[in-house]
Chain A
Amino acid sequence: MSDPADIQLRNVSFAYNGQPVLEDVNLTIGSGEAICIVGPNGGGKTTLLKLILGLLRPDRGQVRLFGQPPRKTRLRIGYMPQHVRHDARFPVTVNDVVLMGRLGRRGLAGLFGLYSTEDRNAARDALAQLGMESYAHRPFAALSGGQRQRVLIARALCCRPDLLLLDEPTANVDTLVEARLFHILNQLNRRMTVVVVSHDLGFVSSLVGNVVCVNRRVVVHPTSEFDADAVRQLYGEEVRMVRHADILTETEGDA
C-alpha cells in the first residue's frame, strides 16, 4: 500500500534539561501491526509515547503520525494512559469516563462537547467489548484496578481509533485478566494497529510481531529474535526469565 506508515520517527532526539533521554531514534510502525515497546524504567518509554502523541516536540528529527505532524492526526489514536492522576473520589460514572472518548468533534456540538445518541452507542459498544457493560452506571472510583484499566481501554476504543496505544495495560491486573486482555487485543488487532508499552516481558511473546526496545536508543527486534541476549542488552544486566507455560515472568538480578 502507498499509505504512509502509522507512526514514523526519523533521527529523533529528545533531552530533558540537557539530559538526553532519547537519541537518534528511527522507528516505523506500519498499519495493522502489533508492537510492544519495552525497556527499563527511566529508559525513555514514556517520552517516546509523548513524542508520538505530540505532547512533546523532538529537539531534533521528525515525528509523523499517519504521515502528518501528530497534533493534526492524533484524534485517530485511542490512547490509554497508565493511570489517571486525579482524585480517587472524583465523581464520575464508568459511562461518563468512556464518553470522554467522543470529545473532539467539530461544529457547535463539538464546541460545547455535547454527546449524541451515536456517541452513547459507541460508549456502550466499547464497554461491551471489554465485558464491562453492566458496570456503566457504577462510580469509576469504586472499581478495582483491573476494572479501571478495562474502562480506560474502553474509553480509548470509544474514540473509534485507527491506532490503539496502551501504556502499561497489565500494570495492575492479575494473570487471568492479563490473559483475557491478550485475547481482546488480538481481536482488536484485526481491525487496527496496536501499540502496547509494557515492562512485562511476558506480554511480548504472546501478542506482538515486533518488540521495540527503548533504553535511550531504540532497537527493533522481531519477537522470534527477542531472546535473553536482547534482554541483557536492553537492561544492561542479567535478567532471569522463568517460563510458566506460555507466560513469561521476569525477575531482575540485584542491581
Chain B
Amino acid sequence: MTDLLDALSDPEIPFLRYALMVGILASVALGIVGSYVVARRISYLAAAISHCTFGGIGAGLYLQEAKGLAWCHPMYGAVAAALAAALVIGLVSLYARQREDTVIGAIWVVGMAVGLLFLAKTPTYVDPMSYLFGDILLISSRDLWIVATLDLLVVVVGVLFYNKLLAVCFDEQFAELRGVRVKLYYLLLLCLTALTVVLLVRVVGIVLVIALVTLPAAVAGNFSRRLWQMMVLAVLFCAVFVTVGLGLSYPTDLPAGPTIIVLAGLVYLAVAVGSRLWRPKGA
C-alpha cells in the first residue's frame, strides 16, 4: 500500500493520480445514474448506448489523425455518439412497432462496427483494446477536465429532477397523468446515462463500464429502502471499487479496468448470496 501512496505522489507517473481522480469523480455520477438505471430496469439500454460510443471514438480519432482536425479529441466523439445513441435508442423504445430488443441489439453492434471501420481508415495504428477495456496510461489532464465537467452536469441534473425522475421510473403512466412530460424525462435519463458511460471510457473502457453502472447500485439496493439512499451508497461502493481496484492492480501489474470490475463482481455476488442466506432469519 505504501508503494501505491508513493506512486500516487510521484510526479513521474501522473496517470495513476489522474486515474484515481477520474474514478472518484465518475463514481458520483455512476452511483446516481446507476440507481435510476437499475431501478427502472434499463441496464440493457445503458449497455447498448455504451457500445455505440465506440463509433464516436473511432470517428474522433479518424478526424483527428486522417483529417488533421487536432481539436477533435476522441472523447468529444464519444460524447456525441453516446448522446445520439441515447436519443435513437430512447425513441425506438418509446415508439417502435418493431421488436424493441432486436432493434436495440442492431443499433448496439452497428455502433461498434462503425467505430472499427473508422479505426481501419485511421493512418496511425490505434489499439481498440484500450478503448474497449480501458487503459489508464492514456489518461491526460485534459481528460480529467472533460470528466469533471460532464460529471458536474450529470450530478446537477440528476439531483435537481430527482422527484420527477423517481416518479417516471416508478410509474410512468401516473406521472404522465400528473402532467409530467414522461417521454422527455425518459430521454433525459438516457442522455444522463450516455454522459455517465463516457466518463470512465479511459479507466475501464466502454465494455466494462456497464458493470460500474449497475453493480454498485445493485449492491446498494440491498441496503436501501429509498432511491436516494441507494444513490448515496452506490456512490460510496463505486468509489471503493475504483480505489481498491486501482490499488490492487498497480503493485501486481494487472490491468486496472478488469481488476476493478472483477472486484465489483465479487462483492455483488457475495452480497447477493449473503442477503439470501441472511433474510429468512430476519423476516
Q: Do A and B bind each other?
A: yes
Binding site for B on A (CB under 8 A): 53, 55, 74-75, 77, 79, 81, 84-87, 89-93, 96-97, 99-101, 103-104, 112-115, 138-139, 155, 159
A112-B164 contact given A86-B41, A104-B179, CB 8 Å threshold: yes
Partner among A81, A85, A91 whose Cβ is within 8 Å of the Cβ of B224 = A91
B167 touches A103 (CB 8 A): yes
Binding site for A on B (CB under 8 A): 35, 39-41, 160-164, 166-167, 169-171, 173-180, 221, 224-227, 229-230
A100 touches B225 (CB 8 A): no
Complex CA distance for A115 and B178, rounded to whole angstroms: 14
Q: A55-B176, A100-B174, A113-B180 are in contact. List 6 more A-B contacts (CB 8 A).
A: A55-B173, A55-B177, A86-B39, A87-B40, A100-B175, A103-B179
**Residue from the set A53, A74, A81, A92 with the largest chain B CB neighbour count within 10 Å:** A92
A112 touches B161 (CB 8 A): yes
Complex CA distance for A112 and B156, rounded to whole angstroms: 12
Give 4 nearest A-B pairs by CB, closest first. A104-B179, A113-B163, A104-B178, A113-B164
Closest to B171 in A: A84
* Listed A/B pairs (7) with beta-carbon separation below 8 Å: A84-B171, A86-B40, A86-B171, A91-B230, A92-B225, A100-B174, A112-B161
Contacts of B227 in A (CB 8 A): 91-92, 96
Closest to A17 in B: B97
Partner among A75, A93, A113 whose Cβ is within 8 Å of the Cβ of B226 = A93
A81 touches B174 (CB 8 A): yes
Complex CA distance for A101 and B180, rounded to whole angstroms: 11
Closest to B163 in A: A113
Closest to B229 in A: A91
Complex CA distance for A90 and B36, rounded to whole angstroms: 10
Closest to A115 in B: B163
Contacts of B175 in A (CB 8 A): 100, 103
A96, chain B: closest CB distance, angstroms = 6
**Residue from the set B39, B170, B177 with the largest chain A CB neighbour count within 10 Å:** B177
A155-B174 contact given A75-B179, A91-B230, A103-B179, CB 8 Å threshold: yes
B180 touches A97 (CB 8 A): no
Closest to B179 in A: A104
Contacts of A103 in B (CB 8 A): 163-164, 167, 175, 178-180
Closest to A54 in B: B177
B163 touches A114 (CB 8 A): yes
B226, chain A: closest CB distance, angstroms = 6
